[in-house]
Amino acid sequence: MKRISILFVCMGNICRSPLAEGIFGDLVAEAGLSGGFTVDSAGTGGWHEGEPPDRRSIAIAKSHGIDISGQRARRVQPRDFRDFDLILAMDRDNLAALSKSAPPGANIRLFGDIALGTGEEIPDPYYGGPGGFELVYTRLLTGCNSLLETLGVERASCNGNTSSVR
């Protein structure tokens, strides 16, 4: 069975998208579906390339039992549009930036549309305090749970596993 590859994208790849990658990866592992997914994150800008996630993102993830400290920021590359089945932008500005550089047929969506069903943007917590990071974590967790349920149900039933996400 083909792996589903998902790329989470924000502006600098240090706050929202690393959290989304960490949360979704953790949920996939908990559900016993690690062999069915490839998960990564990137930014539309390259200011932080090679750097770890923001210390506040690392801290909020850690407080929920997820370690994202080994991730390193990278910029979206042209090959990403070919290599990933689904590219999820955290907000409309990043969605627009991705759409400008994407070839025809790239599956680029707003996280809030496909994962939350609300069309909402995931706010950038960079200039705020810890409360903003907790809010982002909560919205990403809700969306990642929904996304995994949608994408993972068929895999779980084919593998004979039961998903802890249901």
Q: Which are the catalytic amino acids?
A: 10, 16, 124
Rounded distance, CA 40 to CA 38, Å? 7
Angle between helices 130-159 and 16-30 (to 10 degrees): 30
| Concatenated DSSP letters of the chain | -PPEEEEEEESSSSSHHHHHHHHHHHHHHHTT-GGGEEEEEEESS-TTTTPPPPHHHHHHHHHTT---TT----B--HHHHHH-SEEEESSHHHHHHHHHHPPTT--EEEHHHHTSSS-------TTS-HHHHHHHHHHHHHHHHHHHHHHHHHHHHHHT---TT-
Closest to 25 in 3D by CA, of 36, 12, 13, 11: 36
